[in-house]
Structure 1
């Protein structure tokens, strides 16, 4: 496992420990696992992970839901290679891994990201009338 991916798996595990998954969460997650055909999370394969990603993409899951689902999988004993597969996947083919999008960017790993200006960024332009000051 690459060092970066190993750190991301550790970050996922820390996030998982902070969560308190109640039965309602487990039911939501269970619906995804059922639809993906996963019977036992601890026995998951990368093919199961691929199918799970398809289910998530088809359901337009939120980034927080995806992060929580993966955290629950980590808590329930998903094999390290499966967690690595999830975290290193690029579902939306935008060049950012799922881990980068949910842990660093805070963007949706199911939607391709396009560069956008920050809402705090302001574009400075010269004043249309001579003698007026620039505004920031």
Structure 2
């Protein structure tokens, strides 16, 4: 009996692009990836008496945690913060996720019209690996 093949964190890669530059964590350094569709739902009762729920989709929140391998993420984040404190609107981002499936095929997700929300870093000490987390919000998703 063969073991079931699974998708792991090493199967994910991310590329972020905007006028701030291009950022892509080194392949194989993904620690955690989370994608959360955002939506509001409002229960309604229509004139015919039937209950229905109005669902309003509000985009996706994506969190990508990776091992720090250089200053690239801080350099891009500093440009975002500089614009914020100068009163300049953040440039739109495009994020491209590539997921290697167990059968060898590739799934690509492209998010557009997005904004980088925050960059955080794990505590650094001793020989522990420093992890960084990028969180961003995207309005549109296309999958291929």
TM-score after normalising by structure 2: 0.27
Greater gyration radius: 1
Greater strand fraction, Structure 1 or Structure 2: 2
TM-score after normalising by structure 1: 0.28
Greater helix fraction, Structure 1 or Structure 2: 1
